[in-house]
Amino acid sequence: MDTCRLEPRSILLTGATGYIGGRLVPRLLRAGHRVSVLVRDPERLTGVPWAGEVKVFRGDLSDAESLRGCCDGIDVIYYLVHSMGEADAFAEVELDCARSMVRLAEAAGVDRIIYLSGLRDPRRSSSHMDSRHAVGDAFLESDLTAVVLQAGIVVGSGSTSFEMIRHLTDRLPAMITPRFVHNRVTPIAIDDVLYYLTASATADFPGSRTWDIGGPASHTYGEMMNGYARIAGLRQRPMIPVPVFTPRLASHWVGVVTPVPAGIAKPLIQSLAVDAVVSERDIDGVIAQPDGGLTDYPDSIRLALSDIDSDSVETFWTDDRTTAAEPLPSDPEWTGRKVFVDERTLTTTASRENLFSVIESVGGKNGWYSVPLLWRIRGVLDQFAQGPGLIRGRRSPNRLRVGDVLDWWTVEQITRPERLLLRADMRVNGDAWLELRADEDETGSVFYNQRAIFFPKGLTGLAYWYSILPFHQFIFPTMARNIVREAEKRSG
């Protein structure tokens, strides 16, 4: 059987701002395909290297009217979206979105739809995996040629599974675990997932069906964590399974120890409670394995750590957020609405470029140029409130783009070398932003401007602001002075 048809295809990709989709787009472009992406917020593509090479449709999968025309002239659809929250109705919403896409694709004469699902355990399942399988089944029952690739844990720099394994193993000398730590899974390296997805655009599939994809070997979750420990140069972690350690308790524990919040960890952990093992390798008859074979688990860990060390993490698990933040209200619209602003402005001898390079480097391991102890205390309190705290870090130590997470913030706007706007994801009764600017006047003088903006909600929001106001008198002036000092140091 021919491995693939080599002619370029016209492709529509959903989930382009997510972990998998953000890495797949440039590979499809390199393969010569014409790529369109469907996104709810095109601003999320600001700063993405391939953004100028694709056609962008603005639309929401839950709003069929907004999708009108997106499938016209399309040969292949990549459907790479799924919910990870705890909302009771998420499975129904997911299925409705999938069916809407099927109707549009069938009407437009689309040839093929490609979907990344999860491996099935014939004995047990979870609500999260049931939802993903239901979406895959909706595609298989359609008139399209449906290619449903089923994968287990995806191991790559910035993937949710890898970050959970990495932080749990790095931070815990021993692990009290649920009983399913002895369940088995076939992990797959992110590069191999992208290889199969890219090849699926042109591969000569015999018809609609599911195809298992996975690395060369299966492991227990305990073996995977200790496998990471060996590669990272750590001693082996004792595993102590506890029967009463439920998925809910485990998800809250993961939310405290790792960057993955409990709401996202819970469906993942429920999925871990079942085996996720490759049951067939039929895909080998349609798509030949990559040159050199599939990546084994130790090498996938080495590659992930190498990406982190070299600051080449393309996408991060937080890119898969399904809700867009509201933009910061412009100043004239503040009239009539309660708002608190802490503003600091300092003149500096640093160049504007060096000042902005410091601004862009804040957070993560670089810190906030402020009072570290107070920031850490606030981060811990936020984690206990099931917020992100400071544990999420940042994708790159020096470069930011719209949509990146930055500890308990998200990058909402970035204009180099002038402005960085961060929106708070912390648990507070209100909406908060932090704006950092490198301004220059007509005489060439450079100014650092810093604004913390908070819109309280109700009495609790007011109480929150006034409770932290004394700490702001230390944190924000110190932050401004240290950022300016570091910029002047870089300017020599």
- At 312-348, the pLDDT tens digits run 888 876 776 544 444 455 444 454 456 788 899 999 9
In a domain, 101, yes or no: yes
Which letter does DSSP use for residue 395 in this model? Answer: S
Are residues 257 and 395 located together in one domain of the fold? no
* Nearest residue to 435 via CA among 361, 366, 359: 359
Tally of domains in the chain: 2
Residue 318, C-beta contacts closer than 8 angstroms, at least 6 positions apart: 392, 395, 404, 405
Stated pTM of the model = 0.75
Other C-beta atoms closer than 10 Å to the C-beta of 310 total 9
Q: Where a domain ends, among 285, 317, 349?
A: 317
Q: Where a domain ends, among 264, 294, 317?
A: 317
Q: For the chain, how big is the Rg over CA atoms in Å?
A: 24
Q: In what order do the strands lie in the sheet with 112-118?
A: 55-58, 34-39, 10-14, 76-79, 112-118, 145-151, 209-212
Are residues 223 and 295 located together in one domain of the fold? yes
What does the pLDDT read at residue 323? 44
Q: What is the pLDDT of residues 195-242, one digit of tens each?
A: 999 999 999 999 999 999 999 999 988 889 899 999 999 999 888 877
Whether 259 shows a pLDDT value over 90: the answer reads no
Phi and psi dihedrals of 7, rounded to 5? -70, 145
What does the pLDDT read at residue 334? 52
In a domain, 3, yes or no: no
Mean pLDDT of the chain: 85
Are residues 294 and 336 located together in one domain of the fold? no
Are residues 372 and 433 located together in one domain of the fold? yes
Are residues 345 and 275 located together in one domain of the fold? no
Report d(CA 293, CA 311) in Å as an integer.
26
Arithmetic mean of pLDDT, 134-156? 94
What does the pLDDT read at residue 295? 96
Are residues 141 and 15 located together in one domain of the fold? yes
pLDDT over 70 for what percent of the chain?
86
Strand, helix or coil for residue 310: coil
Q: Where a domain ends, among 257, 283, 317?
A: 317
Highest mean pLDDT among 177-186, 258-267, 448-457: 448-457
Domain interval for residue 485 = 332-490
Are residues 221 and 282 located together in one domain of the fold? yes
**CATH (domain of 372):** 3.30.530.20
> For residues 385 and 261, is the Cβ–Cβ distance under 8 A?
no
Residue 14, C-beta contacts closer than 8 angstroms, at least 6 positions apart: 21, 37, 38, 61, 77, 78, 79, 80, 81, 101
Instruction: Give the confidence band of 308 by pLDDT, cuts at 50, 70, 90.
Output: confident
In a domain, 324, yes or no: no
Instruction: Give the confidence band of 380 by pLDDT, cuts at 50, 70, 90.
Output: confident
In a domain, 127, yes or no: yes
* Nearest residue to 77 via CA among 28, 130, 133: 28
Report d(CA 110, CA 269) in Å as an integer.
36
Are residues 295 and 417 located together in one domain of the fold? no
Whether 379 shows a pLDDT value over 90: the answer reads no
Are residues 442 and 358 located together in one domain of the fold? yes
CA dihedral 146, 20, 119, 102 (to 10 degrees): -30
In a domain, 327, yes or no: no
What does the pLDDT read at residue 151? 93
In a domain, 4, yes or no: no
In a domain, 322, yes or no: no
Whether 90 shows a pLDDT value over 90: the answer reads no
* H or E stretch at 190: helix 190-199
In a domain, 228, yes or no: yes
**CATH (domain of 299):** 3.40.50.720
> For residues 468 and 474, is the Cβ–Cβ distance under 8 A?
no
Residue 328, C-beta contacts closer than 8 angstroms, at least 6 positions apart: 412, 421, 423, 433, 435, 453
Are residues 359 and 457 located together in one domain of the fold? yes
Strand, helix or coil for residue 195: helix
Are residues 86 and 126 located together in one domain of the fold? yes
Are residues 399 and 479 located together in one domain of the fold? yes
**If you search the block for the tokens 């085996």, which residue do you land on?**
275
